Structure 1
Amino acid sequence: MAGRTSRSGRAEGTRETILTVAERMFAEHGVFAVSNELRQAMPAETGDSADVRDWVACLVRPDTDHLAELGSPTWFARFATQVMTDPVLREIMIDETFGPTIQQTLDGLNRCLPDLPLPVRIERGEMARHLLMHMLAERERALAGNTQATASTWPEYASGLIDAITGIWLAPVTPSTSHGRS
């Protein structure tokens, strides 16, 4: 019981620290201080592309470019990943980041996948978001710890992420009544 109480106290202390840092970051930079010019320019340049990879790049490259601009070490991706696990902070983060440019990008992606059933689309969107956030945090951790990173630069890393997330979107759909798929 003492171990559980101690762990609970540490968890509460960690939560308070996260909330304090979150409040400061929200005030100073917004949740995602990603270049709005880049985030807005990419969908416009992508136009009416029917290539899923082009639209996935619109979601990935602004984040990786931002992290590259910050230099190393950074904590932003690791912090954002932790914030997304808190139900209240997650809603704030989603509200802060979801705007017309993200909607335009998602609309472009959806146009490329007209036959993908809505439940599968929602599920894969969650998978893609988790993969993106966690892998950005992992690269950030590796760079901060001077451990072997899988790619030598953020742009190379972005290309690998774009490939993987594109694979998620283009994977075959296995019919299953448990997921409401048809």
Structure 2
Amino acid sequence: MQVSTAVATPSPRSTRARDKLMHTAERLYAEHGFANVSIRMISEAAGQRNKSAVQYHFSTRDELIQAILARHAAAIDEHRIPMVAALEASGEVSLRRWITCILTPHIEHHIELGTPSWYGRFLAQAVVEPSLREHATQASMRTPSFQRLEKLWPPRQDRDPDLSAQYRAMIRLLVVHMCAELEGDLASGLVAVADAEQSWRRLGEHLITAVCGLSTALLEISEP
């Protein structure tokens, strides 16, 4: 007797429930922090009668968080792929263009999310959570577009591995927390929703300039 190994396709109802749980968890974690949100709270806020709905769809809290991170990473990758392709085709890679390909997709994704959004503040929680930090940092770095980008012109890391690690951490914290701050200001009304896109693009330009400065100062990367 032959046993089928096909994986069942989730039903539309199951997919909707999973999406609702992810969206609700992202919002609650962003607003209250990981330590103050229980699995049961997420199920209740998502309107699930089954209090074990999160465990059914994701098994554990960390698996739920990783699924949220992976979804955003995939969306950011869609923005970066054409930028990397254009950079590859140009045959001319400068420091600012390379860093622009790293950062601009994040900014475009924030704009695409609209206001209110919670991803920025959610990610800010994840990058400082010891059990999630590595996954949070690797979620985007493992995407196809980022791996292609690293091959074009990676920063010099052969001289001082500790410095290289600190450099990456500085960039990560700068970008993540500045995005979280703007997202929070938009949500609270400190920045007008009508100015959201302009504010995100201005932040993006400032972050690109700041990271160029860090690259030049710390790793002695300059324009080729």
State the 1:33 CA deviation: 4.7
Matched, 1:65 2:108: yes
Residue aligned with 1:162, SS: helix
Q: Distance in 2 between matches of 1:167 and 1:85?
A: 24
CA 1:117–1:46 in structure 2 vs 1: closer, same or farther (change >3 Å)?
A: farther
State the 1:95 CA deviation: 4.0
* Corresponding position of 1:179: none
Counterpart of 1:46 in structure 2: which amino acid? Answer: L
Counterpart of 2:149 in structure 1: which amino acid? Answer: T
Percent identity over the alignment is: 27
Matched, 1:107 2:148: no
Contact 2:84 2:148 survives alignment (8 Å) = yes
* Corresponding position of 1:14: 36
Contact 1:81 1:134 survives alignment (8 Å) = yes
* Corresponding position of 1:139: 182
Q: Compare relative contact order (CA 8 Å, sep 6+) and give the higher one, 1 or 2.
A: 1
Contact 1:56 1:109 survives alignment (8 Å) = no
Counterpart of 1:169 in structure 2: which amino acid? Answer: S
Residue aligned with 2:190, SS: coil
Residue aligned with 1:87, SS: coil
Q: Distance in 2 between matches of 1:71 and 1:160?
A: 20
* Corresponding position of 1:165: 211
Q: Distance in 2 between matches of 1:50 and 1:143?
A: 34
Structural mapping, 1:1-182, within 5 Å? 13-14=35-36, 16=38, 23=64, 26=67, 30-47=71-88, 48-99=91-142, 100-110=144-154, 113=156, 117-148=160-191, 152-171=198-217
Gaps spanning 5+ residues in structure 1: where?
1-9, 175-182
Give the TM-score of the pair, scaled to structure 1.
Answer: 0.72
Q: Distance in 2 between matches of 1:32 and 1:12?
A: 20
State the 1:88 CA deviation: 2.0
CA deviation vs aligned residue, 1:56-97 (integer Å, no higher than 9, x gap): 111111111011011111110110110111122223333432
Contact 2:69 2:139 survives alignment (8 Å) = no
Residue aligned with 2:150, SS: helix
Q: Distance in 2 between matches of 1:60 and 1:35?
A: 10
CA deviation vs aligned residue, 1:93-134 (integer Å, no higher than 9, x gap): 3343222321222333426x5886443333211111111111
CA deviation vs aligned residue, 1:119-165 (integer Å, no higher than 9, x gap): 33332111111111111111111111111489843222211111111
Residues paired across the two proteins, number: 164
Q: Distance in 2 between matches of 1:158 and 1:126?
A: 18
* Corresponding position of 2:55: none
Contact 2:62 2:132 survives alignment (8 Å) = no
CA 1:12–1:97 in structure 2 vs 1: closer, same or farther (change >3 Å)?
A: closer
Pick the structure with greater CA Rg.
2
Q: Distance in 2 between matches of 1:173 and 1:24?
A: 33
Contact 1:34 1:63 survives alignment (8 Å) = no
